[in-house]
Each structure stands twice: as C-alpha cells, then as structure tokens.
Structure 1
Amino acid sequence: MVKVVKKFFKEATMNPVFIGGCGRSGTTLLGAILGSHSDCLTIPEFQFKLNIIQACNHKAHFHTYTNEILKDKRFKIWRISVDAENLQENLAKSAIHTVDFFVKKYAESINSSKSPKLWIDHTPTNMKYAKTLLEVFPQAKFIHIVRDGRAVASSVMPLDWGPNTITKAASWWVEHMAYGLAAESFLGKDKIIRIKYEDLISEPEETVKNLCSYLDIEYQHLMLKATGFKVPFYTSAQHNLIGKRLDVTRLNDWEKKLASEEIEIFEILTGDFLKHLNYSLKSHSIRLTIHRVDRVKFYLQEIYIQQLNKIRNRLRFYKSQIYKLN
C-alpha cells in the first residue's frame, strides 16, 4: 500500500485550501469535515510553511531556516522523517515544491490511499498571511470561519495557550477577526468564502454543500461525520469532539460558563464587532469602558496564569514526544 501511495503522490498535482479564523472557531473541525471527502487531504496545522516561504526568498540563509524548520515544535507534531539535506534540496527549487514535498510526505506517513485534488490546511493564522499565501499559491482558495467571540473566549481561556482572561480574549478575538475581514476585502468573493461556526453545527448539510460548490467538488454525505483528519496527540485533548456527532446543544454553552461580568466586559471591549457579525448582545451594558480596577485585576491574572501555562504546555509537548516514541 505504501509503495502505491508514494508513486501516486510523486506524480500528483494538488491545489491548497487555506482555512483560517480566530483560534477555537472550528478550523480543525472544518478541516476534518473537508478531509472526509475523497478529493481532499487534510494535513496538520502547517504553521512552519511561512518559514519555508522565507527560506526560498532568502536563499543565502538556507542553513538557518533549515535548522529552524527541523527544530520547530509544530513540524515535530507531523511525525514525518525529513533530514536537513533532503529539506535543502527541496528549498533550492521553490516554496511550492517544498510545501508539496511536505504534504506528500504526510500522506505517505498516514498511508493515504486517496487521489486528492485539494490539500486542506486549517492553521488559524492563515487569514493573517492571506496575501503572502496567494502570491505563492495563486490557485489557492480560502475559507474564513467565524464564531461568536464569547464562545471563543469561553473555549480558549481554560487552555494552556492563548488568552487567559476575558479582557485579553476580547482583544485577541477582535485582532483575528480583523485579519479575516481584511483578507475577505483583499481576496474577493472568487477566492474566499466566509462561513459561521454556528451554521456549520446547526445546518451542517446546507453549509457543507455550499462549501463544496465553492470548492468545485461534489458533496458527499460522509463528510458530516468529520472523520477526515486524525488529530495529533499533542492537541488531542482540546480537539476531543472531532469525529463525534455535531451537537447543536453546545452552541450556547458559553452563556453558562462565562460569568455575567465577563460577558458584559467582552461586549464592552469588542464594540460593534459582535453586532456587525449578527450576534445578539446579552448584557446590553450602558458603559463604554471597563473600570480601571478591573483592567489591573485581569492584567495581573493574565500574567500569573501565563506563567503556569508555560509549564503546562511544556509538559503536554513532552508527553506527546513520549507517545511518539511508543
């Protein structure tokens, strides 16, 4: 089987689809849904692709970029074998060639028997670098997935990465929403489509059919099972719902998990962003700013939890490397 896969992927030409949006907005879920299609291959988050692009733009520094890529934690999560000589050989050709090399190596590593037309990258920051990605991959298409910022905040704050307080989560969500809206404006309707996480959960068939039409692939009912991507062990805990039935009852869990004060502060700090995206406000606060004492409280809390999370994150990565050896 592996020999057949290698032969096919050596000859295959695939176009990329870049999913992006704020973290915890459903980028991985959407990747798993599209990856369930027979014409699509979903890869792990490809955060080091920008290092590849930089390396090809500054070929005098090949050795530096090669070391950075091979030492990158996100590359190690892919669990593929690439040595420095092999990597430099590909970098000497082009960024597209090198990225294609990594995609095919990943396909070989999972013994994929597909003949895909598209490879799917669900790195949330893809919207931030949409112009660069389009310049390198002119045939690419983009998907901007949007989720209620209060749900994003509720989801991300307990994790060992990202913002830890409601004030930081609010600015983080607005920042990433701005990247996405800017990408929509720059790329235009032929190159990018926006979908809502809530629509993906509450109206999955209609939403996925629209995506398939945009990507020029036929809708396949098995896509709704979202089993087209095996989550790396490193991120398995935070993606424990991937591959399970889409649950519409969880959409408003944030209303129970966030304190009323947190909801009010988030709505104050994000201004009209929620309303612009057709999300209803809950607190209806008459305040335009938050109290200085709250700013100080959340600032100190953010610093404290941030230090604890550095330890949590290192332990999680260490466990993933032990799992890799097993």
Structure 2
Amino acid sequence: SKAEDLIAALFQHFFEANQGTAEHIMLEKTPMHIRYVDKILSRFPEAKVIEVVRDGRDVDVSYKARAKTQRWAHDDSRRVIGQWQRCVNLGARFHGDPQFAERIYRVRYEQLRANPTQELCQAFDFWGWSIHRI
C-alpha cells in the first residue's frame, strides 16, 4: 500500500541520515503496534518482534495515572482492559501463525523485572546476538 511504502521510505531515510549500517538495530516500543505485526513482518523480512505483555491490572493503573496528564490515555477500566485483551489475543494469534512464529518472542513484563539478566539473555538469543555485543 502507499502508506506502507511511505513508512518504508521513512525508515530508509532515518537509517541513511544516521549513517545506519547492517550492524545497526532499530528498536521501537509502541505497544499498540502489535495490531500491525503482520504488516511489519511482511514488509521487513529481517524484522523481529519482542512482545512485552504486562499484567492487565497494572496496565489499567498505569493508564489511569497517565490520563491525568496525557490526552491519549483513558481512565475507563473496561475500555483499557478490553484494549489490553485484544492486544494480548493478537500477539498470541501472530505467535501461533507459522508464517510469523519464529520472528515473535513474548516475554512477561513481570518476569523481565524479576529476572532481567535471564530474560535479556533469552531475548538476545532470539535476536541472534551475543550478550557481549553490548
């Protein structure tokens, strides 16, 4: 689509403007982009996705705090939890799709906080990186 072509051109421009090479990695952390994982992975065959799933109750608390200062955040728990559930279900669907399963890694936020070294080592393995790369 034209929108996908524009996004690809923006990424290309970003890498060129920042003297990016094959050794450079771009990370992007927008949680709602799980809705576009199929498009992202189809458009960028070298891309991989790490999906960080947080406990929905904590997401709700976080949104309520953000709603005080950010227009985009809602404080309606039903809406927040409904959106969270849709995103979690989408992530599970993409992770279960043979076309994408090897390129999506799911980690629980709470596990990442409790065992950062172990979880980051597993994420590095998923990326195919050595922990000594950093």
| Length-normalised TM-score, structure 1 | 0.36
Matched residue, 1:209: 121
Which amino acid letter does the alignment assign opposite residue 191 of structure 1? Answer: R
Deviation string, structure 1 residues 109-150 (Cα, Å, up to 9, x no partner) = xxx9x9734211222222111111122111211111111100
Moved over 6 A (4+): none
Question: Which has the greater radius of gyration?
Answer: 1
Matched residue, 1:168: 79
Instruction: Report SS of the residue matched to 2:73.
Output: coil
Deviation string, structure 1 residues 269-319 (Cα, Å, up to 9, x no partner) = xxxxxxxxxxxxxxxxxxxxxxxxxxxxxxxxxxxxxxxxxxxxxxxxxxx
How far off is 1:52 after superposition? 4.1
How far off is 1:201 after superposition? 0.7
- Paired with 1:149 and 1:162, the residues of 2 have a C-alpha distance of 15
Number of aligned positions between the proteins = 128
| Unmatched 5+ stretches in structure 2 | none
| Unmatched 5+ stretches in structure 1 | 1-49, 57-90, 224-326
| Length-normalised TM-score, structure 2 | 0.80
Corresponding residue to 2:52 among 145, 150, 153: 145
Instruction: Report SS of the residue matched to 1:121.
Output: coil
Matched residue, 1:119: 26
Matched residue, 2:62: 155
C-alpha contact (below 8 Å) 1:143/1:192 kept by paired residues: yes
C-alpha contact (below 8 Å) 1:142/1:191 kept by paired residues: yes
Percent identical among aligned pairs is 21
C-alpha contact (below 8 Å) 1:157/1:169 kept by paired residues: no
Matched residue, 2:92: 181
Corresponding residue to 1:192 among 85, 104, 107: 104
Which amino acid letter does the alignment assign opposite residue 207 of structure 1? Answer: E
What is the root-mean-square deviation in Å for CA atoms of aligned residues? 2.6
C-alpha contact (below 8 Å) 1:157/1:164 kept by paired residues: yes
The within-5 A match list for 1:1-326 is: 52-53=3-4, 56=5, 96-105=8-17, 107=18, 116-159=23-66, 160=70, 161-186=72-97, 187-188=100-101, 190-220=102-132
**Residues 163 and 51 (structure 1 numbering): CA distance in 2 closer, same or farther, change over 3 Å?**
farther
